[in-house]
Amino acid sequence: MLLTEKGYDAFLAENIARGNEDILMGRCHSLEEACATWQQTIQQKAAELAQLDEQHESVYG
């Protein structure tokens, strides 16, 4: 049996209930939506880095 701090079980139950409520109310994203958002962010950051690289090369050649 694992030892837990006093009140941890109530804290955990409350957070699980809050998470379940968020899911029922639609306040969450599917895995597919999260992956699409991260992919878009990664592509945007890659473009920004490429632009910085080009600026660096034009200045320091």
Q: How far apart are CA 54 and CA 47, in angstroms?
A: 11
Region 48-60: mean pLDDT is 87
Q: Phi, psi (5° rounding) for residue 28? A: -155, 170
pLDDT given at position 61? 62
Is the pLDDT score of 12 beyond 80?
yes
For 1-61, the DSSP string reads -----TTHHHHHHHHHHHHHHHHHTT-S--HHHHHHHHHHHHHHHHHHHHHHHHHHHHHH-
Is pTM, for the whole model, over 0.75? no
Is the pLDDT score of 1 beyond 60?
no
Structure tokens at 28: 């969450």
